[in-house]
Amino acid sequence: MASEFQLNLVKQGAEIWNQWRLENPGLRPDLQGANLSRQDLRGGDFSGTNFYEANLRDTQFCNCNFEKASLYRADMCMADLTEANLSYVDFYKTTLYTADLSKANLRYSHLYRADLREAILRETDLAEANLYEVDMREAVMPDASLVRSTFYYANLSGADLSGANLSVASLMGAVMRGTNLHRASCVGTNLYRAILQHANLAEADLREAVLRMADLSHASLENANLFRANLAEACLDYAQLKGANFKKTNLWHVNLGHLILSDPSLGPAPA
């Protein structure tokens, strides 16, 4: 349970809390199970703090420092975390539904099975974060940095990733139905067996991306750059391919509905 002294202290505001932290640099704060819903704690120093199963709904955390904090199973629904430092944070099964994480730093954070549905992550830095099985349906993430992040079997259906940088990220088996990846950078991205039905990949940079066995049916790949991409055994039923660059692309056994390109150099096989 949370320390009663520390709980009363933090409820007095970030200024008093930060002063106490300065005076006790070697102490790891314990706010486990604390109810801090709707508090204004902007600018607070919560680095290394234990927030296990805390109620942080609709709380103001702008510009806060949470580096290496534990937010394991915390409820941060609707919380304002804009420009917060959330690097190396443990968000295991944390609820961040509709939370605002715009321009926040989540580098190297652990978000395994976190709930980020409809969360706002505009220009957020998620480089090298672990988002295994995360739920990010309808999340708003334009221009976010997801370089080298891991999204194994994550659900990003309906998310807005327009202009995002997903270079060398791993989205193996990710569900991305109707996801907006317009002009996204996916250089060297692993999308093996990803479900990209009805996704918008127009003008996306997919050079050397792995799309083997991916489902791209009804997806838009107009003017996308697929130079040296691996599309072996991918499904492109009804995909829009106008202007796409398939130079040196691996199209072995690509499924185009009634057509199978078993050897692209020979052209389409007869139906």
Q: What is the pLDDT of residues 176-232, one digit of tens each?
A: 999 999 999 999 999 999 999 999 999 999 999 999 999 999 999 999 999 999 999
pLDDT tens readout for residues 85-103: 999 999 999 999 999 999 9
Q: Do residues 110 and 129 touch, judged by C-beta distance below 8 A? A: yes
DSSP structure class, residue 65:
B
CATH number of the structural domain 146-271:
2.160.20.80
Q: What is the mean pLDDT of residues 248-270?
A: 65
User: Distance of CA 87 to CAs 40, 110, 173, 183, Å?
Assistant: 21, 9, 25, 27
**How many CA atoms are closer than 13 Å to the CA of 57, on its beta-carbon side?**
5
Q: How far apart are CA 30 and CA 5, in angstroms?
A: 10
pLDDT of residue 260: 42
Q: How far apart are CA 230 and CA 225, in angstroms?
A: 12
pLDDT tens readout for residues 110-155: 999 999 999 999 999 999 999 999 999 999 999 999 999 999 999 9
Is a pLDDT exceeding 80 seen at residue 21?
A: yes
CATH number of the structural domain 1-136:
2.160.20.80
Which are the contacts of 195, defined by CB distance < 8 A and separation ≥ 6? 174, 175, 176, 177, 214, 215
Q: CATH 2.160.20.80 in the chain, residues?
A: 1-136, 146-271
- Reported pTM: 0.92
